[in-house]
Chain A
Amino acid sequence: MTQHSSPMPPVQPPGAASTGDRWSGRALAAGIRIGGLVIAILIVIVVFTALSKPNTFLTFTNAVGILRSMSTIAMVALGLTLVIVVGEIDLSFGYVYGLASILIGVAWIIWGWPIYLAILLAFAAAVVVGSINAFLVTVLKIPSFIVTLGTGQLVFGTTLLVSNTATLNPAYPPVGKIVPKDQVDWFFGLSNQHLPFDIPMQAIWMTAVAIIIGFILSRSLFGFRLKAIGGNPAAAELARLPTVKYKFAAFIICSLLAALAAMLDFAFIGSVQPNAGVGLTFPIFAAVIIGGASLAGGRGTAIGTLSGALLLAIIANGLALLSAGSYLSNFVSGAVTIAAVVLDRFTQSLRK
């Protein structure tokens, strides 16, 4: 400290430097978080196995079913995690999901477009909505909560307008419309390939998305800066981080993943109706929050969000097997979400 005249000290070799550098408080807290989620998931599995009739809950078929049922929530929640990490909120993704699926249906079945162009249109629409959200948030500086609350309704209105509130099914097109058989097969094949062990196609898509978002959040410059911007926007501005560009990217990716989930669900179910996606807002937010992302920004992981979605899917599945009634499902998922935040506060305070 007091040797003013000494030259710059020698640089430590990289290997030696990492001694005593292994576990930081933050990494430990993140570890506790994921560990806690794994324990919660195990407890829920044990409880449902005990409560349910033999050979209903803890079976391979049911596990595969859970994997499929969580995939929609997980994919959109992974996109939402980016938006939350950068310190914003998106409430419009559920409606983007609805618009995307309706656009594919209408353009393909009613307008007679090739399926590939119809899908392109749906993704383009998602990019437009994401861009409008980001523009209003970054350029006009309107809080994202208000922006996306509004754009969500605009998008929903558009969906109703475009669909004419009709349910569409490519296998049974309206009178006078023809849908080529090869396109129907290709489209349904997006979610219904016969894979070994009956693994659902959507789980493969989900895994791919999770790997990409996981890379973004923990291994990319983009993710590093998203965390910085979300952690302290004022400092990010002084450091000249590309805040506007990155927020555009986060909102667009979130919308795109909503469109992807919509397309895959349409392909799996085989039909589409304009109300699709309306009920997604809560479970997707719940997955992100249970996964440990901070609504204040700057914190969130792909593995956490994925675990959050898994926990919710197991609970929904288990309660359904017990024929518990849907109100109980609402009770439990609401309680679990709040409990997750309470536990989070607790572990955070332990760290201090």
Chain B
Amino acid sequence: MRVVIFGAGATGARVARQLRSSGKVACVEIRDQQESKARLLVETLGSGTEFGEGRQIGGDTDAVVLATPPGSQAAVARRAVHRGVPVVATSNQMSEVRRLLTLEQEALHHRVPVVIGAGFMPGLTGLLARHAATELDQVDEIHVAKVGTGGPACARQHHRALSSTGLDWRDGKWTRRAGGSGRELAYFPDPIGGRDCYRAGLPDALLLVPEFVGVERVTARQAATRRDRLTAPLPMLRPPHAEGGIGAVRVELRGRVGIERRVLVMGAIERPAVAAGAVAACTTLHVLAGAAAPGAYGLAGIADHLTLLRAVGDCGVRPMRFEGMTTFL
């Protein structure tokens, strides 16, 4: 099997490493706009990896992984779909996720899956939401939140998102809300604990709403400090770090079992780029195994989500559950 990875950054490098070590991918081709970065990664990983250039997708490609900075993935994804090659995209930019979702008809026509937002959030959050939903008869509300950033591109997107308009799903309608508003204290897995989270330009609702019929509210928030909020409208005051520290995601589902209302809280803790790399690599292997249906969707819509969730757990990104407050009526 041959997989082409676009992007040799913090996430792309981890995807390449995981795919190589899986033993199921004979060749991983790595491409990056910064040629030296791609070449360095190929040298580091050694045999079974190749340096590649350009945006053309060869006929011998079995899957394409997009781990480039947000904003550059949709065009490559369309090209891959037209070649009949499955796509795993890691973008967490709202406008790009919209564009990727519009590939639905083309993906169905070419009978290939386009898995969108295969990262930490969106990505693992979708899997956790799908898993939690199996315990409910009806899902009424989904609220997701995240702490932390991966590589520099992720940090820039995090900064932009806080000053961008958020998109909530409320009572069957899309509602635009100001980024940086709607403070909520979300309790993440230890040692992160409680963090104030705010609305931001996050694409999670776009990916979750189509997968949960009858859901009334879907919101997404990201943790931010006071300084983050004050400086969000400005350009980044200093260059982003090479890679952020420990991060976490939290997924809260509210729904019903019979007449009983329940709250389920799932989460995970890991460095965001490590988790995103693990999720994207496991999703790629899932796609290569033929377990993903044709179409364009997020991880909440992937077939056999338990196998994928177990695979992600085996890569060290352990799904967690908050216990002690599951029932409130």
A and B: partners? no
